[in-house]
Amino acid sequence: MQHSNWSQVTPEGVLLHLWIKSGAKHSAIAGEHGGRLKVAVGAPAIDSRANQCLVHFIADVCGLAKSQVVLVSGLKSKQKTVLVCTEQPMAILSAIQARFSPTLTLE
């Protein structure tokens, strides 16, 4: 899986360009959508619950504290960008790739 379209290494860490499916049965990395990493989150898009679930899920996947995952754009959109604050960007990309589930059904 190429990750150059949906990720960008910065001095602060890694920017992840995501497409979110809220209200899924399980939180999971589920492929790509329009050049973004597709992430299903198991919370509805009500009162920022999906955003909170997304931050928690990305932190869990990367083995980091929630405070190291920052939603930088897309607060009320399916298209979001998060910054994963780390000094080891390749470890983050490897962790995400290890959880990649291209056959997961989001419906």
Our count of domains for the chain comes to 1
DSSP string, 32-84: EETTEEEEE-SS-SSTTHHHHHHHHHHHHHHT--GGGEEEEE-TTSSEEEEEE
Containing domain of residue 82, as a range? 7-98
Q: What is the CATH number of the domain that holds 33?
A: 3.30.1200.10
Residue 103 lies in a domain: no
Q: Which amino acid is at 33?
A: H
pTM of the predicted structure, to 2 decimals: 0.88
Residue 20 lies in a domain: yes
d(CA 7, CA 5): 6
Residue 87 lies in a domain: yes
Residue 104 lies in a domain: no
Confidence category of residue 101, pLDDT binned at 50, 70, 90? low
Q: Is the pLDDT of residue 100 over 60?
A: yes
> For 5-55, what is each residue's pLDDT tens digit?
899 999 999 999 999 999 999 999 988 899 999 999 999 999 999 999 999
- Higher local confidence (pLDDT), 67 or 100: 67
Residue 106 lies in a domain: no
